[in-house]
Amino acid sequence: MTDLNYSSSELMIINAARMLRNGDVVFVGVGQPNLACNLAKRTHAPDLVMIYEAGVIGAEPRRLPLSIGDPTLVSGALSVVSMYDIFANYLQRGNVDVGFLGGAQIDRYGNINATIIGTDYAHPKVRLPGSGGAQEIAAWANRCYIMTPHQKRRFPEKVDFMTSAGYLEGAGGRAQAGLRGKGPVAVVTDIGVMEPDETGELTLTALHPGKTTQEAIDNTGWPLKVAASMRTTGPVTEKELRILREELDPTGIYLKSG
Amino acid sequence: MTKLIPLTEAVSQFVHDGDTIYAAGFTHLIPFAAGHEIIRQGIRNLTLARATPDLIYDQMVAAGCARKVIFSYMGNPGVGSLRLVRAELEAGRLEWEEYSHFGMISRLQAGAAGLPFMPMNQTGAADLEAANPNIRRVTDPYSGKEVVVVPALNPDVAIVHVQRADAQGNAHLWGIIGEQKEAAFASKRVILTAEEIVDEAVIRSDPNRTLIPGFIVSAVCPVPFACHPSYAQGCYDRDNEFYLKWDKISESPEAVKAWLDEWVFGVKDREEYWQKLGAETHQRLRVKPNLSEPINYGEY
């Protein structure tokens, strides 16, 4: 019998997985996005095509990949292409439906910082890893999802450094910059879900069972707007937890946190 | 003409103080053996370019080989922070130049194709563009819209590891093929290390798999297990335990020095390093074969 008490990570992964549609071509990252995609593939989206930044198309990993270039992604994949090809022919050309993003800071308009904390690029307070593929994924995937714990420091009014574009300064920003993708259509946190309103501002649209609007407001760095029709996310199911814990991450490397 | 020489000779002959190096491999086939040989030979003031500096550049930076790094993702893949490079950057002791992955790889692609620069579509996120004057914009002469451009990268030396090559340097590689081909074509000199040296007939049996032709290669060095703790698809697995262990080692300068003394300066070559890792590690990294279906090129 699966223990139905779940961690914050499990809650976010399960809710992100539910947002994927069968047939989506997804640009997957290691860690939690990888679990969300593999969970979706084993539940409602068997035809999901998983693409990994290292150049692997249609991966079907037999074990939990521990890095973006894990050899388990290659064996049994549909195709393996060069890094230039994955970014040019697949992402820039518009062949990717979904991208997963994360970062140290996500601001009011869904812009992401994964580069530096502090405002002086040349003398950062904290140096973060940087863009990797995120800058292009955010710009060119048809739609993006962000998974991150709901904490004030992670959701400032404005990012210290814009590594990847959300809705820039607000409505119309993406179109003006000539970006092809829709941008971050949902931010899944451990409290609920934020989605952009018509101005591009991230707005609370759903709460997980047992969570409150006040918790979300208290943990957001800007005056968080709340949608008129608030939804409650569906309860986490035993099946979802069982697949995650028994099949995908049996030693709890990415599930245990939170 | 054979280009087979030991790795020690290839490094002393083709890598010089002040060079720009591109040690290729996106997580896969990272040429750690050559990196360690560069450390042992005390080569200095290098500019180290790689999309992901990975542990190989963390170690080279720790050993004092580098003046500057060029990168697009500075983390310990799958683990977290790349502590030593990060600390040097934060302290202002190491110069750096930063791109997105696509920007970095476009620089190599331009270099490999003999072009002066490479255009990319805009991404809307312009802070890196403001921070790095090498990232610029030009007007597309056809549509009149702006595109982002990056300059060609033409390193002095590419170091590329492959599963198999012949003595002339014609090379087969498979699995994640990252940017090995682009790095080799972009660079002035190419040091090729290989798990296995095979007869030219083996290369000719599968010409589609030859990503690097021998005539752009400067030296071919037989170095089995050259990639540990990275991996070679089908030959041995990635040593994730070591990537986690490095996260701990790299917390302390003393531990880093002790590690370099023991595992780089304390061994004469990769063969000794691999033996020192021991049977248990060899067993843990062993992979079961999984052969592809043969294809038919036809007899003409």
Q: Is residue A17 part of a domain?
A: yes
Same domain, B136 and B61: no
Substitution target from A35, A135, A249, A254 for chain B, most B beta carbons within 10 A = A135
Q: Is residue A258 part of a domain?
A: no
Same domain, B96 and B56: yes
Q: Is residue A256 part of a domain?
A: no
The answer to whether residue A164 neighbours chain B at the CB level (below 8 Å) is yes
Q: Identify the three-state secondary structure at position A73.
A: helix
Same domain, B170 and B276: yes
Same domain, B177 and B76: yes
Say yes or no to pLDDT of B256 above 70: yes
Same domain, B194 and B164: yes
The whole-number pLDDT of residue B78 equals 83
Say yes or no to pLDDT of A118 above 60: yes
Residue pair A51/A90 in contact by the 8 Å Cβ criterion: yes
Residue pair A106/A183 in contact by the 8 Å Cβ criterion: no
Same domain, B138 and B228: no
Same domain, B267 and B191: yes
Residue pair B243/A253 in contact by the 8 Å Cβ criterion: no
Tally of domains within chain A: 1
Q: Is residue A144 part of a domain?
A: yes
Question: Phi and psi for A179 in degrees, rounded to 5?
Answer: -85, 140
Same domain, B184 and B133: no
CA distance B212 to B217: 8
Same domain, B126 and B143: yes
Tally of domains within chain B: 2
Q: Identify the three-state secondary structure at position A173.
A: helix
Q: Can you give the CATH number for the domain in which B96 is found?
A: 3.40.1080.10
Q: Is residue B296 part of a domain?
A: no
Residue pair B176/A56 in contact by the 8 Å Cβ criterion: yes
Q: Is residue A88 part of a domain?
A: yes
The whole-number pLDDT of residue B99 equals 98
A157 is catalytic: no
**How many CB pairs below 8 A link A and B?**
171
Q: Is residue B198 part of a domain?
A: yes
Chain-chain contact of A127 with B28 (C-beta, under 8 angstroms): no
**Taking all residues of chain B, what is their mean pLDDT, rounded to a whole number?**
97
Q: Is residue A1 part of a domain?
A: no
Same domain, B157 and B146: no
**Separation in Å, CA of A30 to nearest CA in chain B:** 7
**Nearest residue in chain B measured CA to CA from A114:** B73
Please give the residue range of the domain that contains residue B137: 117-151
Say yes or no to pLDDT of A1 above 80: no
Residue A256 — very low, low, confident or very high, per pLDDT cuts 50/70/90? confident
CA distance B222 to A249: 38
Q: Is residue A257 part of a domain?
A: no
Q: Is residue A255 part of a domain?
A: no
For the residues A230-238, what does the mean pLDDT come to? 97
Question: Phi and psi for A171 in degrees, rounded to 5?
Answer: -50, 135
Same domain, B127 and B250: no
Same domain, B170 and B229: yes
Write the DSSP symbol of residue B132.
-
> Tokens representing A44?
């409602």
- Among residues B45, B48, B274, the alpha carbon closest in space to that of B159 is found at B48
For the residues B174-197, what does the mean pLDDT come to? 98
Q: Can you give the CATH number for the domain in which A202 is found?
A: 3.40.1080.10
Please give the residue range of the domain that contains residue A190: 8-248
Residue pair B135/B148 in contact by the 8 Å Cβ criterion: yes
Q: Is residue B111 part of a domain?
A: no
Question: Phi and psi for B180 in degrees, rounded to 5?
Answer: -60, -45
Question: Phi and psi for B55 in degrees, rounded to 5?
Answer: -65, -30
pLDDT tens string B265-291 = 999 999 999 999 999 999 999 999 999
Residue A3 — very low, low, confident or very high, per pLDDT cuts 50/70/90? confident
Chain-chain contact of B125 with A111 (C-beta, under 8 angstroms): yes
Q: Quick one: residue A67, left, alpha or beta (phi over 0 = left, psi -120 to 50 = alpha)?
A: beta
Residue pair A181/B121 in contact by the 8 Å Cβ criterion: no
Chain-chain contact of B77 with A138 (C-beta, under 8 angstroms): no
Prediction pTM value: 0.96
Chain A residues close to B179, C-beta within 8 Å: 82-84
